[in-house]
Amino acid sequence: MMLHAARALMRRDLQLLWARRGDALQPALFALLTVVLFALSLGGDAKQLAPVAAAVLWLAVLLAGLLALDNLFRSDAEDGSLEQWMLAPVPLWWLILVRTGMHWLTTALPVILAVPLLGELLHLPHAQLPALLASLLLGTPILSLLGAVVAALTVGMRRAGILVALLALPLYVPVLVFGAGAVAAHAQGLDASGALLLLGAGLMLALVFAPMTAAAALRIAHA
């Protein structure tokens, strides 16, 4: 039953994504624009760009995910689908987890796949690329899960885009610090496994608690 519901929700999300494929490209284009503007602001100087390239790429991925966060549950609340979620014979937290996974697949993952190319624009040292990709693959799902909680808390508010950003960014800061810190440690010849293990532990905790917290917030919003 849970797998059937997950497949149905994923199929519906993919159909809606294809219907609004222009909007679906916005996070990736926003990340590209962020990287290009940052590179231009420093004049394309490799000596200035290389030390901060990993942090800029992390920030670009973070902002790309934040751009689509407000619509995570809002369209479902507006068309009544969210009420059907609550009446469905599967746990609400499971549907939230599936939706959050789709959010990550359609916003963060395309940007992560483009990181090697974006890294060339910022003169990212090739030796840092594996650590950067590992930190992004561990850290960005945490951002989506934390974002789901914030989106659930604000789903009943109109024009909550700025509020979503204000609530989400403080939660994102530790993930950004450990993600970029892992790459910085690797660049200095230090062991980056500590920061990566912390990101992995954070991901496990987020997978357990974030969907249940978001489910509680959605039920309160529709009480």
Per-residue pLDDT tens digits for 194-220? 899 999 999 999 999 999 999 998 888
Tell me the pLDDT tens digit for each residue of 61-105: 888 888 878 778 877 777 777 788 887 788 889 999 999 998 898
Supply the pTM of this predicted model. Answer: 0.90
Confidence band, pLDDT 50/70/90 cuts, at residue 133: very high
**Alpha helices of the chain — where are they, by DSSP H?**
2-19, 21-24, 26-41, 46-49, 53-67, 71-79, 81-87, 92-103, 109-113, 115-121, 129-153, 161-187, 193-221
- Greatest mean pLDDT among 34-38, 82-86, 175-179 lies in 175-179
Q: Is the pLDDT of residue 223 over 70?
A: no
Q: Are 85 and 112 in contact (CB under 8 A)?
A: no
Taking the C-alpha atoms of residue 50 and residue 29, their distance in angstroms, rounded to an integer, is: 22
